[in-house]
Amino acid sequence: MICALARRCARPSRSLALSLLFPAVPAAFGQTAPPADPAPDSAVTRRDVPQAPSPASELIFEGFASYGHYKIFASGSGSFVYATGVEYDRHSWGKMAGARTDYAGELLLVFLKEGDNPDIWGTPQNEGHYHIVPGLGIYPIGVRWIWFDGRRVMPYVSAKGGIVGFTEKAMSAKGTYENFSLHSSLGVKVRLTGPWDLRVDLFSDYHFSDAFIVPVNPGLDVMNANIGLVYHLGGRNAAR
C-alpha cells in the first residue's frame, strides 16, 4: 500500500519535470534569431548625390617671336626673344567684369637672341651680330580673363609672372643668370572643331630683369606675336 501511494505521488512530479524540461530544450540548442526586416527598396530610399562638374580647363601649345623692344622696366635693347611651351588655364574664380576668370600657369623654353658685346646696361656694341642664349621660364602665378566664352571668337587678356633662368648671364656680364619675368597678352581665341581652339595674340609683352639684385638691371622688354593651339581637357562639353 505504501508503495502504491509512492508511485501515485511520483506521477505528478514526473509530469512537472517534463513540463519544465521540454521548454528548456530549444534554449539548450540555441534559439533561432527572429527574421530581419526586409531590405528597403533601394530604388525608393537611395538618394543619388550628383557630382559637381569639373571646372573647365585647357592646355595651350604655344610659340612666340618678338618683333620689337622698348624700355619700361629694364634698360636693355637690341635683342630678341623666341619661345615655345605650354600654358595651363583653369576656370577658378567665377566672373569679373563679364569675363570668365581663370587661373593661368606657363612653362616656356626660351631662346634669347642677344646682341654681341653688350655694355653693362644691356645695349649691344656690335650691331648686327648676335648669339643665342637658351633659358627656361616657369610662370606659376597668373590670371586670364576671357569674354564671350563658348562663342566663335573670344577676346582675352592674361598676365603671368615667374622666373626665367639662362645658361649665361643675360644681357650683360654684370647681369644675372636668373631673372624675374612677366608675360602679358591681349588676343582672341577662335573656336575650331571638336575639343580644339586656335589662339592668336599679336600684342604680347615679354619682360625679364634682375630687379636690381645686382647694381645694374640689364633686362629686356619686347613685343611679340603669340600663336597657340588650345585643347580642352575633358572635351568640348567640359563644364564652363
Enter the DSSP assignment of 52: P
Q: pLDDT (tens digit, 9 = 90+) per residue, 171-183?
A: 999 889 999 999 9
* Start-to-end Cα distance in the chain: 107
Give the helix/strand (H/E) hosting 94.
strand 80-96
Residue 1 inside a domain? The answer is no
Domain count, the chain: 1
Residue 27 inside a domain? The answer is no
- 104 closest CA partner among 181, 158, 63, 183: 158
147: domain CATH number is: 2.40.160.20
Residue 6 inside a domain? The answer is no
- 205 closest CA partner among 186, 229, 231: 186
Q: pLDDT (tens digit, 9 = 90+) per residue, 115-172?
A: 998 899 888 888 788 999 999 999 999 999 999 988 999 999 999 999 999 999 999 9
Q: Which domain holds residue 66?
A: 57-233
- 60 closest CA partner among 101, 90, 93: 90
Cell of 202: 599679336
CB count within 10 Å of CB 123 equals 18
Residue 132 inside a domain? The answer is yes
Residues of the chain predicted below pLDDT 50: 1-6, 9-10, 13, 15-30, 42, 44, 239-240
Residue 214 inside a domain? The answer is yes
Cell of 106: 606657363
Residue 14 inside a domain? The answer is no
Separation of alpha carbons 155 and 189, rounded Å: 6
Residue 9 inside a domain? The answer is no
Q: What single letter denotes the amino acid at residue 74?
A: A
Residue 26 inside a domain? The answer is no
